Amino acid sequence: MDYRKLLGKVESAVLPYLGGGTVDTATRRLRVTTPVAPGWWRFELKGREATAREPAGPEGLEALPRVRGHVWGARLVLEGAVARPLELLPEDEPSPLAPVSARRWHDGALLFDGVEFEGEAEDAARRALEEGRPLASVKGVSAPLRAAFGYALLEAASRTLDIRFAPAETRGRVLRVAELGRPEAESCLRALAEERRVHQRALEARRVAEQQRAWLDAQTVRASELAQEARRRVLSGDMSRGRGAPVGDHSRAEVALRGAGARLLHHRRMAGNQLEVTFSFMGERFVSIVDARTLQVLDAGVCLAGADSEVTLESLPSVIREAIDTDVLVITRHA
């Protein structure tokens, strides 16, 4: 096979663009040459690059798995109180708590498909939300609808208390919030804020202790040794990876996260050879600080009970997944 002909082949495909630097087909992820507004576009595909040519209508949705839930803002609330981002919503947004169907794209993103028939339960839940009543006395409300109601209560309380939250942090408590109403929502958020304060105090104490040890140690000589060793590793990595292989901050972080099922959104260099990495995973955004050379986690951005340094950027998503699955996730850095 002449791979030069394959790389030079130009194809056309209608794909959903959700922002960022990449777009997904059924079989591969391509780099977008020029970002455009999120939506359905006809792309010209060449090699590993995709170029948006013109807006287009959705294609191929009927062949994708259908997912049903209830809308809460720009998220779709599913069974198990899972609240996933709902992409490409229409200008005429669905009513709060409306039953909505979506299609799961090849990369796992949920694409808006349509609003489904509403029953009495949705109307009753919406009235209770408007009147500030809990759902304890409302009958016939499904678990996803109850969860969407609970998240809406948490969102309202969040604005009042100025305490941010992510759905994954409150998933284990959201049905209780729906049943008991606004006081339970505020209690839930205050408990979350206290957990963050405890984590932050512990983190600050560790930082002070590390600074004191660094001041007492003879770090000048050691830093020089580390720098020389790092240069040797980079040179060795260049030779082992082969010509043209990516070794920059972006590529190394992207490869580490992609292997764990996460997607790199962006990164920035910080003082002290640190790297701030923002990534998406399981429908949430996370911000972590890692060592730019080793990708060792310095501040996970989630509460790990002081074990941040035992985790690498590659293993961090699996730790986050376990925290979400066991309802103990606490996000300490928000994107």
Structure confidence by residue, pLDDT tens digits, 221-246 = 554 565 566 556 545 554 444 433 34
**Between the CA of residue 36 and those of 42, 161, 232, 272, 277, what are the distances in Å?**
12, 36, 41, 35, 23
Average pLDDT over residues 267-293: 93
The Cα–Cα gap between 34 and 44 comes to: 12
Q: Which tokens go with 70?
A: 């209830």
The two three-digit tokens of residue 269, written as one number: 């260099």
Number of neighbours of residue 327 by Cβ within 10 angstroms: 13
Closest C-alpha among 116, 83, 108 to residue 16: 108
Give the number of C-alpha atoms closer than 13 A to the C-alpha of residue 68, restricted to the C-beta side: 8
Query: Per residue in 156-203, pLDDT tens?
Result: 999 999 999 999 999 999 999 999 999 999 999 999 999 999 988 888
State both tokens at 159. Answer: 């604005």
d(CA 321, CA 326): 9
Structure tokens at 25: 């087909």
Query: Are 79 and 47 contacting, i.e. CB atoms less than 8 angstroms apart?
Result: no
pLDDT recorded at residue 220: 47
List all residues 6 or more positions away from 124 whose beta carbon is below 8 Å from its beta carbon: 138, 140, 141
CB-CB contact of 278 with 300 (8 Å)? no
Show the tokens assigned to 6: 């394959």
Split at pLDDT 50, 70, 90, the class of 47 is very high
Q: Which residue has the higher pLDDT, 203 or 29?
A: 29
Whole-Å CA distances, 257 to 82, 129, 281, 316: 22, 39, 9, 9
Question: For residue 295, how many other CB atoms are within 10 A of its CB?
Answer: 21
Separation of CA 236 from chain center: 33
CA 10 to chain centre: 32
How far apart, in whole angstroms, are the C-alpha atoms of residue 286 and residue 317? 10
Tens digit of each residue's pLDDT (9 = 90 or more) over 60-92: 899 999 999 999 999 999 999 999 999 999 999
Supply φ then ψ for residue 148, to 5 degrees: -60, -40
CA–chain centroid gap for 123, Å, is 31
From the number of C-beta atoms within 10 Å of its C-beta (0-12, 13-18, 19+), residue 320 rates as: buried
* 216 has a pLDDT exceeding 60: no
